[in-house]
Amino acid sequence: MKAKKWVFLFWTTLVVGAISGTITGFALDWNNGMKLGVKEFIVTFIWLFGVSAMFSVVSQMGFFAYLSLHRIGIGIFRSWWNGVQVILIALILFDLVYFRYQFFAEEGESIVPYLLVSVFLFVTSLMVAYIKQKETTKEAFVPALFLMIVVTTLEWFPALYINDPKWLWVYFVPLFTSNVWQLLILHRLLDPKVIEESAKKQAKKQAGNQISTHPQKKQPTNRKKKKRS
């Protein structure tokens, strides 16, 4: 990828995250926001925009860290890497419900609100991964789902630890939208020839791994002895 495209990806992701976080911040505190004067509104807008931009940078760090992790995972686990990612996705979704409920739920409080957060993340991530698969290849589905669930949750951890309802979503929305943007725009910025060559190499590696893990048995050949004349 050329330097111009890297710069484009960085700034557009920054703007997407900053705008989405700012809108979320005002939407969650709409009543108080309408009471603000012009100066207070501008100050609040700048503050929300800056904080959301910072969360967007965190998203970009996590995104490129996963790109490296993905290559390492393929090198270590080979054809098992997708299975490992699926297991980690399931663990993260379970922990997102169980541990938050154990630490923050009051006595008699229902588990449903905690469950809905995990379900929302799972469903929206499925939609994003499906779009990524449709626009690229079927092999991109599991990595896309892993990024949207596992990586986003790890980036979201500081807000999960505080467990403030407003901060949960002010933190989450910039992270999620930034990851969606990066995931769905990356293949458009790459050279199509490079993508095709990479897909062919990955297919060859997977085929080689399957052959090595399941070697074919040599069939015995019956050789007829020639009769001596």
Full pLDDT tens readout for the chain, 229 residues? 678 888 999 999 999 999 999 999 989 887 776 677 788 888 889 999 999 999 999 999 999 999 999 999 999 998 899 999 999 999 999 999 999 999 888 888 899 999 999 999 999 999 999 999 999 999 999 999 999 999 999 999 988 888 888 889 999 999 999 999 999 999 888 866 655 666 566 656 555 555 555 555 555 555 544 544 4
Prediction pTM value? 0.81
pLDDT at res. 193: 61
Burial class (CB in 10 A: 0-12, 13-18, 19+), 11: exposed
Which residue shows structure tokens 């923050």?
104
Instruction: Give residue 229's pLDDT.
Output: 40
Between CA 63 and CA 60 the distance in angstroms is 5
For the record, the structure tokens of 162 come out as: 């505080």
What is the reported pLDDT for 216? 54
Give the other-Cβ count within 10 Å of 89's Cβ: 19
What distance in Å separates the CA atoms of residue 205 and residue 220, rounded to the nearest whole number?
A: 29
What DSSP character marks residue 218?
P
Q: What is the DSSP letter of 214?
A: S
Q: Which residues make Cβ contacts (< 8 Å) with residue 82, sequence separation at least 6?
A: 142, 143
Q: Which residues contact 90 (CB under 8 A, 6 or more apart)?
A: none
Could you tell me the CA-to-CA distances from 76 to 83, 145, 209, 210 in Å, in that order? 13, 20, 12, 15
Rounded Cα distance between 58 and 227, Å, is 80
What pLDDT shows up at residue 220? 54
Which tokens go with 70? Answer: 């993905």
Which of the 8 DSSP states describes residue 136? S
